[in-house]
Amino acid sequence: MGHAYKAIQWNHHKRVYDAVIASSVVVFVGGFVGVGKLVWTGERAISDPVLLLRGLAVCAFVMLHVILCIGPAARLSTWWAPLLYNRRHLGVTMFLVALAHAALATLYYGGFGGRNPLGAVLESGTFRSISGFAFEWLGLLAIIILFLMAATSHDFWLNNLGAKVWKRLHMSVYVAYAAVVLHVALGVMQSETSPVAAWLTLSGVVLVATLHTVAGVREFQRDALAARAREDEWIDAAGIDEIPPSRAKIVRVLGCNPIAVFRHEGGFSAVSNVCAHQGGPLGEGRIVGGCITCPWHGFQYLPHNGQSPPPFTEKISTYEVRVRGSRVEVRAKALPPGTPVEPARVLPVERVLGDEEQRQGEAR
């Protein structure tokens, strides 16, 4: 038995997160309309529906930037991790805001249903010139991609499409982003006389590109520093005092999944750092109620065997661990998921010295 499906995996933290997202959207769009009414007056006054659809568009565009920036930002600093863990809810909300913009724009520019409004909007442009470019098609493309992503964000899809296909599908957010940027550049800006919108859009693109580049370079450097080890080799993981109780140190081994070495009840256990649910970083979680608890959605595993406590059946790989003097070492070879491994204990000093002498004696 795996984890039963729930409509939404809410916990207290996620409820707060969702409440903050929802109220931020209302405040942002309301604020945009309010400020717009004050700023654009007289000849430059903008009608209420247009102000609202622009407010929704800007809000969705900003949210899309936040979503794209969270990933690399969290790789650069764990400060951003809580935002990353709830990115799916942010993504679905962003889609709904973008959909509201698309629906309102279609109805407004399509004459509120005189005839097929979508047809009217899509037929209004051309592909032969930049000035009258049919940018609405780019918006439609982005909405279709964002819809597929939002509609397949539930665990059911991850389980049934498989992690690889699901991940690829969700990487298409970059195609959606490119379509949205072009939609904005070729559409909105044609009617804009002020350069502010152009500069803001460009800054957003530069921010997304820069964060991804910096995070990529960091990752590359970290990989270069990762331990190079043969499968049967012991790797130095950490000093025994480096790992706080109920927490872990993540060990990176070239060409292998990272390993999370946990300290629990005076012993050390090592498991794969990759959660069986959606690949969450277990080593960033902690031990709650005797179980390693994934920081993303709370799946749990017993430290000594990598198995979810009954009745659940998820399993992750475990690793052999040992304590040598004041250092914790882990063997690079992953054991089959769910294999029990005796936690390594810190030995009394005399015993360690005794072992050391015995080994030296054997060597002589």
Partner 1 sequence: MAVLVVIALYLACGLVFATWFVGGGVARIDRLAAAARWWVRAVWAPGVVGMWPVLLWIVVRGKERGS
Question: Interface residues with ligand FES (CB under 6 A)?
Answer: 275, 277-280, 294, 296-299
The binder of 280, among ligand FES, partner 1, none, by C-beta within 5 to 8 A per type, is: ligand FES
* Binder of partner 1 out of 148, 182, 240, 347 (CB under 8 A): 148
Instruction: Name the residue nearer to ligand FES (CB basis): 177 or 262.
Output: 262
Q: What is the DSSP string of 66-128?
A: HHHHHHHHHHH-GGGHHHHHTHHHHHHHHHHHHHHHHHHHHHHHTTTTTS-HHHHHHTT-BSS
**CA distances in angstroms from 289 to 247, 259, 264, 292, 300, listed in the order given:** 13, 21, 11, 8, 10
Assess contact for 347 and 323: CB atoms under 8 A.
yes
Report the SS3 class of residue 169: helix
Of 300 and 305, the one with the shorter C-beta distance to ligand FES is 300
Half-sphere exposure of 129 (CA within 13 A, CB side): 5
Site for partner 1 in 1-20 (CB under 8 A): 1-2, 4-8
Q: Choose, by CB under 8 A, the member of 9, 24, 152, 257 that binds partner 1.
A: 152
- Minimum gap (Å) between residue 78 Cβ and ligand FES: 16
The residue among 316, 297, 224, 317 whose CA lies nearest residue 9 is 297
CB of 58 or CB of 294, closer to ligand FES:
294
Q: Give which of 260, 318, 317 is closest to 293, Cα–Cα.
A: 260
Residue 154 beta carbon to ligand FES: minimum distance, rounded to whole angstroms: 12
Dmax over CA atoms of the chain, in Å, equals 96
Q: In the complex, what is the shortest distance from the CB of residue 259 to ligand FES, in angstroms, rounded to a whole number?
A: 16
Residue 326, both tokens: 């004041």
Q: Select from 118-126, 172-180, 194-202, 276-284 the region that touches partner 1 (CB under 8 A).
A: 118-126
Q: Is 118 in the site for partner 1 (CB under 8 A)?
A: yes
Q: Using CB distances below 5 to 8 A depending on partner kind, what does residue 139 bind out of ligand FES, partner 1, none?
A: none
Residue of 10, 156, 174, 199 interacting with partner 1 (CB under 8 A):
156
**Least CB distance to partner 1 at residue 143 (A):** 11
Q: Does 119 bind partner 1 (CB under 8 A)?
A: yes
Cα→Cα distances 88→4, 8, 14, 82, 275, Å = 19, 11, 11, 12, 17
Burial of 257 (0-12, 13-18, 19+ CB in 10 A): middle
Residue 65 or 297 having the CB closest to ligand FES: 297
Give the interface with partner 1 as residue ranges (CB under 8 A): 1-2, 4-8, 116, 118-119, 122-123, 147-148, 151-152, 154, 156-157, 159-161
